[in-house]
Chain A
Amino acid sequence: MSPFLIYTLVLSVTIFSIGVVGMIIKRNAISLFMNVELMLNAANLGMVAFATHYGLLQAGALVVFIMTVAAAEAAVGLAIFIAIFRSRQHIRVDELDLLKG
């Protein structure tokens, strides 16, 4: 087994965990979104590492689809943040309670 696979997986897990930490400690919605991107990137890295190790091509196609979904998600999510900012003048997620029962 190539040692680089393990190193890459360790890197992937590290970045993913840092993204989770950011999701927990940040309250600004844009920062939360950046951490989502960080976690998506970590997942991509792990998938490409496994694909290279096992010689599979499908993971490459899957990574392209993940990137497309991430782009769509960023476009819609940031538009929502702009709409919220217009009505509330802030996007602190701990103070947004519009959908709270």
Chain B
Amino acid sequence: MGAELIVFAILFILTVTGAVMVVASKDTVKSAMALVLVMVSLAAHFVFMGQELIAALQIIIYAGAIMVVFLFVVMILNVREREVAPWYMRSLHYTGAALVGVLFLLLGTGMVAFMTPVPLAEAADVAPGAKPPIIDLLTLMITKYSLPFLMTSILLLVAVIGAVVMGRRYDPETGEEYVPDPAEAA
């Protein structure tokens, strides 16, 4: 218990520090790297809870795929935060921070207060608090949730097509697709 608590405290501090850095950093690349830190430490949390499969997927999908896309876009666009915020933006900061404080309290008390004190033993697939077998989760995904699983593949296909369509350039006069002249480029 004691050692677990120390590991958990380190992970907690690491995650919250990363999350604060995502918001506080003016440099977009730095906030992206802080986001990677948050995702990796969340994966450590999942391992801590005995959910190794979700931890692996977290690393592969979030810290791997999604963050690479983010960094590519940051690199292509080279965006910067503007130096001086207008007065309404600064006032928005304070009201926003106050409102989020209220939200934090509401969410926190709600989650803890409305938690059922006893485990829902009749609904449980495995012993509550126990480590779920990975094979069971994967079996669930190809039996009970096979249709949503197939639908995610269609969703990803649509997303890829949408990204390609959004990324194409069009000639403003003719409305036709802009194709760069290879001779000009060379």
Least distance between A36 CB and chain B CB atoms (Å): 11
Question: What CA separation (Å) do A70 and B103 show in the bound complex?
Answer: 23
Contacts of B164 in A (CB 8 A): 79
- Most chain B C-beta atoms within 10 Å of own C-beta, residue among A1, A31, A46: A31
Q: Is the interface of B mostly helix, strand, loop or mixed?
A: helix
B12–A76 touching, CB < 8 Å: no
Query: Which residues 96-136 of B have a CB within 8 angstroms of A?
Result: 96-97, 99-101, 103-104, 107-108, 111-112, 115, 117, 119-120, 123-130, 132, 136
Least CB separation from B60: chain A residue = A67
A9–B112 touching, CB < 8 Å: yes
B42–A41 touching, CB < 8 Å: yes
Contacts of A5 in B (CB 8 A): 115
Least distance between A46 CB and chain B CB atoms (Å): 7
Of the four ranges (under 10, 10 to 19, 20 to 34, 35 or more), the interface on chain A belongs to 35 or more
Q: A34-B70, A68-B156, A82-B166 are in contact. Are A52 and B61 (CB under 8 A)?
A: no
Interface size on B, residues (CB 8 A): 86
Least distance between A35 CB and chain B CB atoms (Å): 7
Least CB separation from A24: chain B residue = B96
Q: A27-B89, A64-B141, A76-B166 are in contact. Are A19 and B19 (CB under 8 A)?
A: yes
Contacts of B111 in A (CB 8 A): 9, 12-13, 46
A selection of 25 A-B contacts at a CB cut-off of 8 Å is: A2-B129, A8-B45, A14-B16, A14-B104, A15-B15, A17-B107, A24-B92, A25-B93, A25-B96, A28-B79, A30-B70, A33-B70, A38-B35, A38-B38, A41-B38, A53-B129, A55-B126, A60-B137, A67-B58, A68-B152, A68-B155, A71-B61, A79-B163, A85-B79, A86-B169
Given contact pairs A10-B108, A55-B126, A81-B77, a sample of 19 additional A-B residue pairs in the complex whose CB atoms are under 8 Å apart: A8-B49, A13-B107, A24-B97, A27-B82, A37-B62, A45-B42, A45-B45, A48-B45, A48-B51, A52-B132, A53-B119, A54-B123, A56-B123, A68-B155, A71-B66, A75-B160, A76-B159, A79-B167, A91-B77
